[in-house]
Amino acid sequence: MEQQEFEIEIRKDGEVKVHMKGIKGQKCMRYAELFEKIVGPIVESEFTAEYYEPEIHTDIDITT
């Protein structure tokens, strides 16, 4: 299984940038929703080449 990584940058002005690596297909949108709940609304998003690759099935259990 490929490793999934999140690069999180918090700037001095409070802007938060998250870059996801190793997440194929639209599954990254589920992670984006989680980050949105934590840090607030998504202002801008950009898809990487991985977004357009076939999704690899894994289960995600998010408990709040």
What digits encode the pLDDT tens for the residues 5-25?
889 898 999 888 888 888 888
pLDDT attached to residue 12:
93
Query: 39-55: string of b/e by CB count within 10 Å (b at 16+)?
Result: eeeeeeeeeeebbeeee
What digits encode the pLDDT tens for the residues 18-56?
888 888 888 888 888 988 898 888 888 888 888 888 876
